[in-house]
């Protein structure tokens, strides 16, 4: 994708087209239970620094939260460690696609 942000609709379209995307939901586990994007990985923002070793710097990650605050902080953190990251604009509040 090669940019810093992606709109929720654009992400939904890419998933529908069958693109294999690596997505991280940085919301708390209790929030994720209320609905999340299928195939997304949940790593709460507070644990992200401790779980970075699970991520692969050769992959691109789309970051998602409720609105955009936490994913912006996650973006800055991961980018500072050399990860290739994109922020989903508007977070789950903007997501109109399928949830589980």
Residue bearing tokens 């940019």: 3
Token pair of 95, please? 């997501």
- Alpha carbons 58 and 73: distance in angstroms, whole number: 21
Catalytic residue status for 66? no
Residue bearing tokens 């992400």: 11
- Alpha carbons 97 and 83: distance in angstroms, whole number: 26
The catalytically annotated residue of 6, 65, 78, 85 is 65
Q: Answer yes or no: are the C-beta atoms of 6 and 88 closer than 8 Å.
A: yes
Which residues participate in catalysis according to the annotation?
65
């Amino acid at each position: 994708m090669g940019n810093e942000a992606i709109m929720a609709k654009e992400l939904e379209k890419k998933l529908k087209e069958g693109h294999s995307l690596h997505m991280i939901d940085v919301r708390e586990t209790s929030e994720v239970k209320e609905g999340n994007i299928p195939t997304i990985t949940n790593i709460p923002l507070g644990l992200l620094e401790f779980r970075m070793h699970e991520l692969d710097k050769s992959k691109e990650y789309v970051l998602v939260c409720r609105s955009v605050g936490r994913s912006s902080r996650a973006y800055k953190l991961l980018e500072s460690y050399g990860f290739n990251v994109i922020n989903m604009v508007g977070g789950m509040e903007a997501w109109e696609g399928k949830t589980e």
